[in-house]
Structure 1
Amino acid sequence: MSTLLHPPLPAPSLAAAESSTRTAELTWLLSSLQTTLASLKSGLEECADLLAPTEPGSTLVLSSLRSENLKGFITRVGTRITKGDIYLRLPSLPPPRGQNAYKLSLSTLPTASTIVLEQLTTTRTLINACLDVVDATRWTGDATNANFISGLLRLLHENISEAKAALKGWTDGQKAWHETPLPADTFSPPLPDTISFHLSISESSILLNVRTLETAYPVTGTNTPLSSTSFASSAAPSYTGFSLREKLAATLGVGRQVVHDEAHEIFTYKGQDVRVREKVRVESQDPSLMSAMAKLGALERCVVVWRRGLGVVMGEEGEGEEG
């Protein structure tokens, strides 16, 4: 019955029919992509708005888990940290006389250096590049050229993937904490060389690492460097009682317990070899960054689907499979 209703076409006619159908499908797909790109642009603009330097910004609470080692807040406006007060209670960082915590305050002077989150700068740059690509796809070039559209979709996918990776965490081009020390005038009073204050992005959250530092090879007058405990005992007197306990521990021959992952490493910081005495790591979820991350993930999946569909119609089934 089906053979009578749909007789098979001769081979030459079948090839011509397949080619005509593929051409019609490609024309329809390229036309529909122009409409779909409008919604993609809207999503990218929402991501750009979430990272825009809009006052009053996002104020984030910082607090160490199960301890009073670090408490405070920071305010993010776009890619910059504009305000912040951090209170530290660490054995290696005695507070000033009459105070129960060591305070770090971001300077509000117009001439002070500003903390810029390079990962957010990278993300904003890539999102703006995606918007330029969408405009180029919709308004310039040949919208009916499948190869042209395929190339632009590939570029969109790469840029969105890199923007998402920058919000997710460490990237290949990101420098380590000891390679990018903050200028002392970022804080008021200025940040001592014995403290490292490092902000970055991890899983669309603000990640703060505060480290107290000591010279890796203190001068002892001999060829034997001072131990960490010995260095601690020679530090400035503490009015919290911590330094006294360290001195007693050194006198009794009891070494300090290593409680962080960088205790046995040596870093070059501001031209000097240093060790990390103490390290506090605090994460604070940023709702705007989390929303941008989710939107970028959804946009990336959409672009992958479009690339895959276009690749199939063009006879390039392998295109767009990554991601």
Structure 2
Amino acid sequence: MTVDEETASAARELSWLLSTLDETIGALRSGLQECLHLLAPSGPGSTLPLSTSRSEALKGFITRVGSRVTRGDMQVKMAGLPYTRGLQVYKLSVAADHTLMLEQLVDVGNYVVASLEVLRNGEEDGEEEEGADGDGGWLRKMDPKSVMQMLCALHANMKAARTALKGASAHRLFPFHAVDPKVFDPPLPANVAFDLYITEAAIIAELRTLESLVSPDPNKSAFFDISPFGFRERFAAAVGIHRDTAPGGHGGADAASDQVLRYNDTDVRVRELVRVESQDPTLMAAWAKLGGLEHVLGTTIKSLKLVMTAAGI
């Protein structure tokens, strides 16, 4: 077979491949719409437990409606927290007139909506070509390079959406971000940091009690120190004696008491860290669906590249 014949054969194969994309694009559109449905607010939402498994450090639940946490009640036992009157725990609840925003889900929704817009724009461009029949034929009428560009844009959006569900960006977490204390009732104490985020479709809650490292005031007696920690703890920190994370907490890199962090314009040390994970079935379904769409797009792009190269495009 001559080079020209090989090129002509590849061109016919390319035309056939573009015609088979009708079904692929239809499945992609359906999958994206299903993801939007999974992410959208619906009914009473999903109520998820937030409890440490081997201790009483944190017991409670949250209710997620779409990208917002509309309810949450937690009972906390951590060093430096006073007991709520009448209880042997510190009670922390999401205030009735506030919600906690899960920014990662906002990002995922934006990427899915952007992908549907890419498909709409591609279909409109294809149907403007002469001879398009408006019934999926728009793909065969589009320039292969334009089809490739569209598929790559879709693939990038799916990858970004999966990345958003895989983990939160550092700038949205402690110590770079602080939740508005008024989101909670009573307001979150100044010596507590709270994070709520998503890792691989699971909801993660982290509570940290903090020790403020305020430079000593020579004009002020140490007996009037506003630190929530006792004299023994402050003395131990000063001489380098450190307390390990309490049972029930799960220490992280920032849980070491000798690591100084900048939080809310103040130097602090993490005294205790409690981390709990709660699997969210709806987010797991969205995570799996997005993964499937990303795989299909990756395979389709690879096949199209090979045929386009053989056709000299």
Please say if 1:200 is aligned against 2:197: yes
Query: Structure 1 CA distance, aligned partners of 2:19 and 2:121?
Result: 15
2:180 paired residue number: 183
Residues 277-311 of structure 1, C-alpha deviations (whole Å, 9 max, x = no match):
11101110111111111111111110011101110
1:62 paired residue number: 50
Residues 215-253 of structure 1, C-alpha deviations (whole Å, 9 max, x = no match):
12353639xx99xxx97324xxxxxxxxxxx78x97xx9
- What SS does the corresponding residue of 2:178 show, helix, strand or coil? coil
- Structure 1 residue aligned with 2:297, among 303, 311, 315? 303
- Structure 1 residue aligned with 2:87, among 99, 123, 145? 99
Please say if 1:35 is aligned against 2:26: no
- What SS does the corresponding residue of 2:309 show, helix, strand or coil? coil
- What SS does the corresponding residue of 2:188 show, helix, strand or coil? coil
Paired residue type of 1:258: D
1:134 paired residue number: 119
Larger relative contact order, structure 1 or 2 (CA cutoff 8 Å, min sep 6)? 2
Residues 125-162 of structure 1, C-alpha deviations (whole Å, 9 max, x = no match):
11111111122233324633100000111111111001
Q: With structure 1 as the length reference, what TM-score do the two structures score?
A: 0.80
- What SS does the corresponding residue of 1:64 show, helix, strand or coil? coil
Note if contact 2:80-2:228 (Cα within 8 Å) is conserved in structure 1.
Answer: no
Query: Structure 1 CA distance, aligned partners of 2:218 and 2:53?
Result: 41
Query: Structure 2 CA distance, aligned partners of 1:21 and 1:124?
Result: 42
- What SS does the corresponding residue of 1:180 show, helix, strand or coil? coil
1:241 paired residue number: none
| 308-317 vs 117-126, greater mean Cα deviation | 308-317
1:272 paired residue number: 266
Please say if 1:312 is aligned against 2:297: no
Residues 18-54 of structure 1, C-alpha deviations (whole Å, 9 max, x = no match):
2221121111111211221011110111111111122
Aligned residues: 283
Paired residue type of 1:52: A
- Structure 1 residue aligned with 2:11, among 23, 27, 34? 23
> Aligned-residue CA RMSD in angstroms?
2.6
- The gaps in structure 1 that reach 5 residues or longer are 1-8, 235-245, 318-323
Paired residue type of 2:186: P
| 147-156 vs 257-266, greater mean Cα deviation | 257-266
Residues 189-237 of structure 1, C-alpha deviations (whole Å, 9 max, x = no match):
2112111111011111011110111212353639xx99xxx97324xxx
Query: Structure 1 CA distance, aligned partners of 2:114 and 2:263?
Result: 35
- What SS does the corresponding residue of 1:293 show, helix, strand or coil? helix
Please say if 1:124 is aligned against 2:124: no
Matches within 5 A, 1:155-174: 155-171=153-169, 174=171
Note if contact 1:216-1:273 (Cα within 8 Å) is conserved in structure 2.
Answer: yes
Matches within 5 A, 1:209-228: 209-217=206-214, 219=216, 221=218
Residues 95-153 of structure 1, C-alpha deviations (whole Å, 9 max, x = no match):
134311101010112xx3x3111111111111111111122233324633100000111
1:316 is displaced (CA, Å) by 6.9
Q: Which has the larger radius of gyration?
A: 1
1:188 is displaced (CA, Å) by 1.3
Note if contact 1:70-1:86 (Cα within 8 Å) is conserved in structure 2.
Answer: yes
Query: Structure 1 CA distance, aligned partners of 2:8 and 2:241?
Result: 81
Query: Structure 2 CA distance, aligned partners of 1:140 and 1:171?
Result: 36
Q: With structure 2 as the length reference, what TM-score do the two structures score?
A: 0.83
Note if contact 1:34-1:138 (Cα within 8 Å) is conserved in structure 2.
Answer: no
- What SS does the corresponding residue of 2:70 show, helix, strand or coil? strand
1:169 is displaced (CA, Å) by 1.1
Paired residue type of 1:306: T
1:256 is displaced (CA, Å) by 5.1
Query: Structure 2 CA distance, aligned partners of 1:138 and 1:126?
Result: 19
Identity of aligned pairs, percent? Answer: 39
